[in-house]
Each structure stands twice: as C-alpha cells, then as structure tokens.
Structure 1
Amino acid sequence: MTNPVVATAGSTDPRAPLVVLLHGRGSHEQEILSLAGHLPAGPAYAAVRAPIAEGGGFAWFANRGIGRPLPESLRANVDWFRGWLDTVAPDDRPVVLVGFSGGAAFAGGVLLDDPRRFAGAAVLYGTLPFDAGVPTTPGRLTGIPVFVAHGEHDTVIPRDLQDKTWAYVRTESGAVATTRRDPVGHGIAPSALRDLSAWVEKLV
C-alpha cells in the first residue's frame, strides 16, 4: 500500500505533539479534520484517510459486522498505519490518537498493539476491537490515558460492544480512564467535545 492521504492543521513544528484524527467508516480525512478547530492550539493535527474505499468514503478494516474487524485486515492496516506514523513521529514525539466510530475501533487496535508508543487515545462513539487479533488482556493499558465517549441512544455501534469497551477501559485494562455517556445518538455531544479538548490539553 502507498502512504496515506493526510490533511493537517495546527502547528507545523515537527517536534510538536501530534494528534492523529481517525475518521469513521465511509467518511474521509477532511471531515474529521474539522475536529481540530475545537481542540487546543499548540499540537500538530493530522487527519489520515483510511486505506479501503467504501461507500463514497473509506474504511480502516474489513469486518464481520459493525465494530468487529477481521483480524488479518486489522493487522495489515495497523502495520501500514505504523509505517506512516514512524516516518513523521520519532519515538520521542508524543502522539495522541483520536478516533470516531470505525476510526475509534482502529485507534483502539493501534493502541492495544503497542500501548507504550502513545501518550493516550480517545475512543469516540465506538468500540475497542475485541477478538480481532490484538491483546485485550488485563492490565494491557496500565497507566495509559484513555478517553471514552458514548451516546446513550447510539443505535449504530452494538450495545454489547459499547458496554464491553466501557467496562474494559474503566476496570480491567488498567488505563487512566476518562469516560462519559451523553443523551445523544451516533454523534459527538458538544459537552463531550469540550471534555475531549480539556483532556487533550492535559496530555500535550
């Protein structure tokens, strides 16, 4: 696969903390880049286009149902993503992942694959990729800041996966968890966006 299409905002300093924005299934990098305008000034923002064309947009992995990646597809695309990331962010550059919906599952997969590489990850209106070839063992995210936002009326992401993600992040994973549920569907609540901004600001 070729290098991804990337849209950027914020700092152009190659040493600035990097916040990577990962869009949902069927969307694209320009749509998720609009989040950067609601997040802190200072970091560099990079919105990455997923590698699989789907529905007029793009997807991060082939799946066997919503929120359930095929392990071989997730593995190949995590490796592809890391190949790009390692060229733009040396190990000493802080990297925060922020994913929405399908991008949240992908962010979770990238984080679970190599937790120590990241300053934190936000899982927005999505699920972690359980049973998809990346470890979800007890203590896997010990000490890693993880932000989870779910919509109480979200009918897109299966409720069992939302509940499993919520429970794992808050307890078994060992993550430093910031979690919230809002009375919305499959979309970012304004109050969640404010909390996300404050969370990113603390990390960077």
Structure 2
Amino acid sequence: MTTPQLTDWPHLYREGDSGRPLLLMLHGTGSHEEDIAALAAQLDPAAAVLAPRGRVQENGMLRWFARRAEGVFDVDDVILRAGELAGFIAEAREHYDVGNREIIAVGFSNGANIALATAMLHPEALNRVVAFSGMYPFGERSTEVSLSGSRFIVLNGRSDPMAPLSSVTTLMSELERQGADVEQVLREGGHGIDRADLEAAVDWLGRR
C-alpha cells in the first residue's frame, strides 16, 4: 500500500500562538476531524491544531484501522496505519513549517488507539499522547521500541465495555516496560470524556 501524500489526506490545520504546542487531534469511530478539533479549544485554546481524517471505513463510519470484531483489532493493519500516520506527521511538520514545535496527540477511543500505536512504534515522530478511552492496540503482541523520553496520560472509565480495564492494564504495563513516563487517570463510568478527564488532561498539558 502506498503511503498517502499530505495533499491527498483530508485534514484541517489551524495556526496557534507562537511558542504553544501543536495538538494532533484524532477522532473516534464514526466521527471526523471537525468534531475532534473542537475539543482542542478546551485543552489549550492557544495551541495550533492539526486534525487528519481516519482513512478506513467500516459500514460507512470513519476509523483509523480495521478490526475483526468489537475490541478485536487487525494488528497488522494497526501497524500499517501507524506508519502512515507517522509519515503524515513528518510531512505536515515540514509543510506547515512547524519546526521544533512540540506535537502532542490527543485521541478519543479509536483515535486514542492509533495515537498510542504510532507513539509506541514511531517515537521519533510522536512522543506525547493524551489518550481518552483508549486501550492496548497490539492484541497479544509486544513491541520493543525504547520509549525513554516519551510521555503519556491514559484516561479511562473503570467500567468501559469498549476499552476493558484488562486491556488498559496491559497498556500501562507495556508503556512502563518500554521506559515511558506514563500517568493514569481512572474514573467511575464508561466510554467517553467527562469533566474530570478534561481537567486532568489540562493539568498534564500544563506540566508538560
């Protein structure tokens, strides 16, 4: 499969204030780039925003990678799409003259999963992640890339049927094993982003 060029990949870009990070906003299944971009203003209204569109479709819904069933990912496709996203980030950094500005991925659900996969496989492209309602993206596989210098915040509901706590526990273990600086926020409830999640993410971003 040929890696798509930036001009062929639907996305939006908004310039932020000088010195502020760039938030890479990654939508969940069935959503799109405009929806998730609106979340950026609640996290850092002065940040630049880059929001690409998931390139996989499932029953007409946009996604970032294929899955075999609910919660069962096509891991080969996860790896492929993570590589594509890493290439997109590198091309966007040059195209939009981002320079050395810090890029922080903010993903929800399927968007969190592709952010995690990309950062765990390609830390040279992405090493800061805010993962809302994400889970471990590699099934039974492990990765061996050093994540020393990478930072993650993982925010989940304890009773989320779409991102089971067992998979979140695996995610935390793997991130720590690979040397990442990782913070976990667990709340009562299920899939979604609530006010406590947002407050924790804003606090984490302020300490970046």
Q: Could you state the TM-score of these two structures normalised by the residue count of structure 2?
A: 0.83
Do the aligned partners of residues 111 and 54 (structure 1) sit closer, same or farther apart at CA in structure 2, a change above 3 Å counting?
Answer: same
Report the aligned-residue RMSD.
2.5
Checking the alignment, whether the CA contact within 8 Å between 2:17 and 2:46 is kept in structure 1 is no
Checking the alignment, whether the CA contact within 8 Å between 1:67 and 1:129 is kept in structure 2 is no
- Residue 18 of structure 1 aligns with which residue? 22
2:68 to 61, 64, 71: 64
Secondary structure of the residue aligned to 1:146 is strand
Q: Is 1:174 aligned to 2:140, yes or no?
A: no
Secondary structure of the residue aligned to 1:105 is helix
Checking the alignment, whether the CA contact within 8 Å between 2:64 and 2:114 is kept in structure 1 is yes
Secondary structure of the residue aligned to 1:115 is coil
2:32 to 19, 28, 45: 28
Q: How far apart, in 2, do the equivalents of 1:99 and 1:69 lie? A: 17
Q: How far apart, in 1, do the equivalents of 2:169 and 2:79 lie? A: 24
- Residue 103 of structure 1 aligns with which residue? 111
Q: How far apart, in 1, do the equivalents of 2:164 and 2:13 lie? A: 32
Do the aligned partners of residues 38 and 194 (structure 1) sit closer, same or farther apart at CA in structure 2, a change above 3 Å counting?
Answer: same
What residue ranges of structure 2 are gaps of 5+ in the alignment? none
- Residue 154 of structure 2 aligns with which residue? 148
Checking the alignment, whether the CA contact within 8 Å between 2:130 and 2:153 is kept in structure 1 is yes
Q: How far apart, in 1, do the equivalents of 2:206 and 2:10 lie? A: 26
CA apart distance, 1:38: 0.6
Do the aligned partners of residues 132 and 52 (structure 1) sit closer, same or farther apart at CA in structure 2, a change above 3 Å counting?
Answer: farther
Q: How far apart, in 1, do the equivalents of 2:140 and 2:79 lie? A: 9
Identity %: 26
CA apart distance, 1:80: 2.4
Checking the alignment, whether the CA contact within 8 Å between 1:11 and 1:42 is kept in structure 2 is yes
Do the aligned partners of residues 65 and 161 (structure 1) sit closer, same or farther apart at CA in structure 2, a change above 3 Å counting?
Answer: farther
Checking the alignment, whether the CA contact within 8 Å between 1:28 and 1:57 is kept in structure 2 is no
Secondary structure of the residue aligned to 1:106 is helix
What residue ranges of structure 1 are gaps of 5+ in the alignment? none
User: How many aligned residue pairs are there?
Assistant: 199
CA apart distance, 1:159: 3.4
- Residue 164 of structure 2 aligns with which residue? 158
Amino acid at match of 2:88: W
Secondary structure of the residue aligned to 1:165 is helix
- Residue 80 of structure 2 aligns with which residue? 76
Checking the alignment, whether the CA contact within 8 Å between 2:155 and 2:184 is kept in structure 1 is yes
Q: How far apart, in 2, do the equivalents of 1:78 and 1:136 lie? A: 13
Do the aligned partners of residues 9 and 197 (structure 1) sit closer, same or farther apart at CA in structure 2, a change above 3 Å counting?
Answer: farther
Q: How far apart, in 2, do the equivalents of 1:199 and 1:180 lie? A: 11
Q: How far apart, in 2, do the equivalents of 1:161 and 1:65 lie? A: 15
